Amino acid sequence: MRLFRRHAKHIGLQELSGFVDDRLAVNRKRQVEAHLESCGLCREGLEGLQYTVGLLKQAPMLAPRRRLVMPDAPAAVVARPMIISWAYGAAASVAVLLAVVLGADLMGALPGGGSDFAIEDSAFSDDQFSSAVPMEAEMADFEETESSGEPVMEAQVASKTLAEEAQESEPPKEAREARSTTEALEEAQEDEGTHILWRALEGVLAALLALLLGVALWRIRRSRRPTP
Amino acid sequence: MADRTGTQHCYNCIQGGYQARAENLAFQMLGDRALAEDATQEAFLSAYRNFGSFRGANLRAWLLRIVANRCRDMLRAGKSRPTISLEQPSEAGDAGPTPTLDLPSGEESLEERALRNELGAVIRQGLQSLSEERRSTVHLVDVQGFSYEEAAHVLGANIGTIRSRLARGRAEMRDYLQQHQELLPERFRRT
């Protein structure tokens, strides 16, 4: 009677089948395992199912006697959901970089003067600066020829003494002009070097962009090629 | 051809890849090789016409569901001649070559292949003794390796029904194999 009670509730067929496929919940699986340890009948049932499933899995399928192929099937296309690939990403990055460099170049915001416009402007201002001194001299000559009278003579004497003092404290005008010219020349050479470097960078970026776009287009054409 | 998500597929590749599975399921449901071939062909045509409705999730389950539906239609129309013996010679109208069997790998020896073919014949006979629903379920899950969910989708049933049919079908097959141990190759017999 006690033995009968112990095995009264055997594992159902569905649960044994689910146990074979490992489809039972963790708790229920533990209970089934515990029961199987003590119940020979359920264990035998399980072994029978495992043997059957093992044979079914080994059974070969029938091979088709003739192959069904549709001769006029539309041009097949390989399923390749690309479009966004590394080439696109790289091309976009290079394009953005190139746009930034070109924009900065046109605005003259690059170090070394950048654009041709910026260099021309600076050259123009240098000329203005170098011609500023003769213009002042001309103006002084003009005032000298136009004006007359003693107060003017006194003023001339006063300005002369001031000029003499200035001449004593400052280097001569020719030397100052020569020094500013050499400095300007050196500066211009330096700017030109930097300018060439930026131009080279722009060229390299443009070439890289063209290459990457070419790769991207080639990938599109390849992905749309029909399969044989 | 494109599915609902816009992904392109090669029709003949799909047909080549799934024809064997489809024909085997149709054979299990209809019990006749020629009818199974017809059902498979019609199902693939239907799949081709309605490929736009495929959502791109599980192609084999979607295709085999069309096959199963087509087989059920044929069963309802009374076209099938179920449970013919595979041991009998073909009828006059079914004079095709002897059915060949799939090989799992190229490394299988001839002896191994012959033994597995013998096993396959016994299994098919055993399956023919089951009801159509249990046979299809056992075939899909145990022979073709479908999950319960896939089998439920293919056969249009819920998981509980699949679990029940599978358990009962397996138990019937276990009894059949125990009664026909002498038909099995020696290495497949239960010790």
Q: What are B31-79's pLDDT values in tens digits? A: 899 999 999 999 998 988 888 888 777 889 999 999 999 999 999 988 6
B15: nearest CB among A48, A62, A68: A68
Residues of chain B with pLDDT under 50: 84-101, 103
The confidence score (pLDDT) of residue B100 equals: 46
| Beta-bridge partner residues of A62 | B101
Residue B119 dihedral angles phi and psi, to the nearest 5°: -60, -45
Q: pLDDT tens across A2-40, in order? A: 444 455 589 999 999 999 999 999 999 999 999 999 999
In chain A, which residues have their Cβ closer than 8 Å to the Cβ of B117?
A: 60
- For residue B163, give the nearest of A18, A53, A62 by CB distance: A18
Yes or no: say if A109 and A102 are a contact pair by the CB < 8 Å rule. no
Q: How confident is the model at residue A73 (pLDDT cuts 50, 70, 90)?
A: low
| Total Cβ atoms within 10 A of residue B160 | 11
d(Cα A190, Cα A187) in Å, to the nearest integer? 5
How far apart are the C-alpha atoms of A4 and B45, rounded to whole Å? Answer: 59
ipTM summary value: 0.80
Percent of chain A residues past pLDDT 90, beyond the cut: 21
- End-to-end CA gap in chain B: 52
Mean pLDDT of chain A: 73
pTM: 0.56
What is the pLDDT, as a whole number, of residue B95?
36
CB contact, 8 Å: A1 with chain B?
Answer: no
Among A175-179, A200-204, B10-14, B92-96, the range scoring the smallest mean pLDDT is B92-96
